[in-house]
Structure 1
Amino acid sequence: MSLKYVTPAERFKRYLPKDYVELVDYGPFGKSQDEAGPGNMGQFKELMEEHPMCSGCWMAYYIRLIFASLPCPEETVTLGTAGCGRLAISQAAVPFIYGNYGDQNAMASGLSRAFRLRFPDKHKDVITIAGDGGTMDIGFSMTMHSWIRGEKFTTIMLDNEVYGNTGGQESGMSPKGAVLKMAPEGKKFEKMPATALAKAAGCVYIVKMSPTNIKKAAKVIRRAIFVAREVGPTFIHAYTSCNIEYSIPTEEVFADARAQEKDRFQFEEYMTDEAKAVIERVEAEEKATLRAKKGKIAEEVS
């Protein structure tokens, strides 16, 4: 779990699988976002290329975007639990820990603390990525306690508003009235106020969104990770539709995401003053680095 760890000795490369060698040579490890980020996906070896998700799965698209947005993938660990998302997350070239029915935030709490003790001079990013069931239903108590304790890691909820992996049961995040295979009469209560709960529990950076804009979604992911490194718990509530359980034709998945962007998932961003200070500093540093790089390239060309 470091750049040195993933880079093989030059003479040993010939014996390694081609995919691994290409990932080291042409992947995002040790590179900046302008070299290997969401803006140029398809032009570098991505951390996640194949997955067993359903055709047209919006969740799979967003997970791919998460991995393309990581500030430092070689120093990152992801954690998840039972659900559709782990089928794709586990295929990425980033260490993944599979939790037991919603305990991902409990594990992340211990892991992030251990990393800070073992590597006090390094940023080791810990990110939990789980569905609405794993985060807000089955894992609710562990999610809330990690936030209340102020644990320094990022929680990303893949909200497809249903238990898509186990047959279509309603979840706490399903909208009121939703008719599903195992809720034939429609859900009887409102969707849980996840972002309000996160704010009340002490999250210092919170976003709710439907990730239709790649640059905007990537910026949110990076902000959440940067803030979690220094300040405290961060939370992203992302709409990732289940086109199977909600009968959304594959060609209409993006249109559905755009529609939800104007409805239940209108963009909301909350940050504390301390979180804002971190974001402004880091983004200013990134802009300065990019300007210097472009200036150097211009000098070499001229």
Structure 2
Amino acid sequence: MSFKVFQINEEFLDVMPKEIVDLQENATWGNPKRGVMDLPFHKELIEEHSLCAGCPEAAALRYIMASIPNPEDTVIVNSTGCTSLVFPHIAMHTVHSLFGNQNAVASGIKRVLEYRYPDKVKDVIVLAGDGATIDIGLDCTLQSFFRQEKITTICFDNEVYANTGGQESGATPKGHVFKMAPKGKQFEKVPMWQLAIDSGCKYVARLTVSSPKRVESVIKKAVYVAREVGPTYVHLYTPCILEIGLNSDQGLEEMRSKDKERFAFFEYISPEAEEVINRKKAEGLL
């Protein structure tokens, strides 16, 4: 784990696409004050990634990548789903887990890093969709909270199994109709942010990704608190515009409308987390 996490062999530099070279040369490594305001001048994700045109997840990933305070010493654990399509296109350490067990894998990685590097900061972040986090992986997710693993879990909630045809998930709102849920969802959306609080998370936030600066603030708080205190959880609304019948340019409008409804900004800060956050603000890192 180092600044050389993504480094092209010099012999291939002249044949590599420019956007790949830019990913190596223009990322914001080594700057704990990095953030979304650096995005116009630096690169965290190649343009020709595998997500659909206009997908809010692509915007969310760029904001998160730009906001992680210590990317060169961070491991991201991802799971099968739309989110996993983008990880070959970033310049960070990533580990792909089986569907649903991403928090168990992250727990093991975090413990090994603490043993191997007792005097260095090594952050571990889980990033997965609602199917992996709330449905198939719910047990692994909650058990990592119960055990007080010092990892950050980020859920991309698009409220559907988007890349397998459009099945309802536990995060789908009640009554919503999808191609593979023609009668509509029969039960209420699982309030994962409340489960996270009840399960011992020290910092929890629910929001859309319509405000880049807010995403940056939440991600930094979550990582800093997890580093020192215990598990943190971030729930991001990243709607699948194709499955809900929107055009590729309507994702931002959809998220802004939900900012005032089901995904109005919510933040839970435990007393221990508040101490960390206040200290980081005093240090100019938040």
TM-score (norm 2): 0.93
The match for 2:204 is: 206
Number of aligned residue pairs: 283
- Post-superposition offset of 1:25: 3.6
Q: 2:5 & 2:191 partners in 1: Cα distance?
A: 40
The match for 2:44 is: 46
**Conservation of the 8 A alpha-carbon contact between 1:162 and 1:174:** yes
User: 1:43–1:252: structure 2 CA closer, same or farther, 3 Å change rule?
Assistant: same
- Post-superposition offset of 1:110: 0.5
Q: 1:104 & 1:274 partners in 2: Cα distance?
A: 26
Partner-residue secondary structure (3-state), 2:58: helix
Partner-residue secondary structure (3-state), 1:77: strand
- Post-superposition offset of 1:45: 2.7
The match for 1:26 is: 26
Matches within 5 A, 1:116-135: 116-135=114-133
1:185-240 Cα shifts (integer Å, max 9, x gaps): 11010000101110111000000001211111101001100100000000000000
- Post-superposition offset of 1:46: 2.3
Is structure 2 residue 220 aligned with structure 1 residue 222? yes
The one-letter amino acid of 1:263's match is: E
**Conservation of the 8 A alpha-carbon contact between 1:208 and 1:267:** yes
Partner-residue secondary structure (3-state), 2:76: strand
The match for 1:57 is: 55
Partner-residue secondary structure (3-state), 1:129: strand
The match for 1:114 is: 112
Q: 2:201 & 2:232 partners in 1: Cα distance?
A: 5
Q: 1:265 & 1:6 partners in 2: Cα distance?
A: 35
Matches within 5 A, 1:284-295: 284-286=282-284
Question: Cα RMSD over matched residues?
Answer: 1.9
Instruction: Indicate the structure with greater helix content.
Output: 1
The match for 1:258 is: 256
**Conservation of the 8 A alpha-carbon contact between 2:258 and 2:264:** yes
The one-letter amino acid of 2:139's match is: S
Matches within 5 A, 1:1-302: 1-3=1-3, 5-6=4-5, 13=10, 16=13, 17=16, 22-33=22-33, 36-286=34-284
Q: 2:237 & 2:223 partners in 1: Cα distance?
A: 19
Partner-residue secondary structure (3-state), 1:147: helix
**Conservation of the 8 A alpha-carbon contact between 1:210 and 1:260:** yes
User: 1:243–1:24: structure 2 CA closer, same or farther, 3 Å change rule?
Assistant: closer
Q: 1:52 & 1:279 partners in 2: Cα distance?
A: 35
User: 1:23–1:244: structure 2 CA closer, same or farther, 3 Å change rule?
Assistant: closer
- Post-superposition offset of 1:15: 5.2
Partner-residue secondary structure (3-state), 2:50: coil
The match for 1:294 is: none
- Post-superposition offset of 1:32: 4.2
- Post-superposition offset of 1:8: 6.8
User: 1:133–1:223: structure 2 CA closer, same or farther, 3 Å change rule?
Assistant: same
- Post-superposition offset of 1:20: 6.0
User: 1:124–1:183: structure 2 CA closer, same or farther, 3 Å change rule?
Assistant: same
User: 1:231–1:23: structure 2 CA closer, same or farther, 3 Å change rule?
Assistant: same
